[in-house]
Amino acid sequence: MKIFVAFLLSFIVLKGAYAQTDWNTEQLALIERMKELSASMRIDGGGGEAYAAVLSEGFTRWTVGSTTINEREGWIDGIAEWFDAGWRVIDGSLEVLEIDIHGEIATTRRVVRETFKSLEGDTTTYESGVVETWVISNGKWMLLRASVTPKLVENE
């Protein structure tokens, strides 16, 4: 029985759906907002204020495995402190796996890889699985919920 269950689970994983590759105009607009969010943390990216401009009222963020759910203002303050301390994203990539839009609400799945650099020159690279809920507010996509599963790739 155990062998059958293992076989069945491996078959399900192998037969799973692949990442979405064709994007419509609405989905492309959402991808651009994702890029704006990432760009805010780069050198000359605007930091906390630019990051906050993409977050919806009521925004929360959860790191999988943690018991803490960060609320909007606390998260923005943390980002601003991080940015003020000299940390920046110096390299990164974004792989959008899925965007599912229903009216003014969208759910997304993506993989983000970012390398952070401190003022002292230390770098750290993380790759994170991210599941998000986005909403339209004042004609723009705004991030409402984020659940992040980070994995340390390198630490120099």
Task: Give the CATH number of the domain where residue 128 resides.
Answer: 3.10.450.50
Kindly tell me if the per-residue pLDDT of 9 is higher than 50. no
Q: Are 117 and 92 in contact (CB under 8 A)?
A: no
Residue 50 DSSP SS3: helix
Sheet holding 69-71, edge to edge: 69-71, 55-63, 140-155, 123-137, 105-117, 88-102
Answer whether residue 13 is part of any domain: no
Question: Which domain covers residue 42, as residue numbers?
Answer: 22-155
In the chain, pLDDT over 90 holds for what percent of residues?
A: 77
The pLDDT value recorded for residue 155 is 74
Answer whether residue 27 is part of any domain: yes
Answer whether residue 5 is part of any domain: no
Answer whether residue 55 is part of any domain: yes
Answer whether residue 8 is part of any domain: no
Question: What's the CA gap between 81 and 113, in Å, rounded?
Answer: 21
User: What is the total count of domains within the chain?
Assistant: 1
Kindly tell me if the per-residue pLDDT of 3 is higher than 70. no
| Beta carbons within 10 angstroms of residue 89's beta carbon | 18
Answer whether residue 46 is part of any domain: yes
The pLDDT value recorded for residue 154 is 75
The pLDDT value recorded for residue 6 is 45
What is the chain's mean pLDDT, rounded?
A: 89
| Beta carbons within 10 angstroms of residue 155's beta carbon | 10
Kindly tell me if the per-residue pLDDT of 28 is higher than 50. yes
Q: Which residues pair with 12 in a beta bridge?
A: none
Angle at 98 between CA 62 and CA 110, to 5 degrees: 45
Average pLDDT over every residue of 77-102: 94
Q: pTM, whole model, 2 decimals?
A: 0.85
Answer whether residue 7 is part of any domain: no
Kindly tell me if the per-residue pLDDT of 31 is higher than 70. yes
Answer whether residue 103 is part of any domain: yes
Kindly tell me if the per-residue pLDDT of 4 is higher than 80. no
Q: What is the pLDDT of residues 42-63, one digit of tens each?
A: 988 888 899 999 999 999 999 9
Token digits of residue 53: 């401009």
**Where residue 5 falls among pLDDT bands split at 50, 70, 90?**
very low
**Where residue 13 falls among pLDDT bands split at 50, 70, 90?**
very low
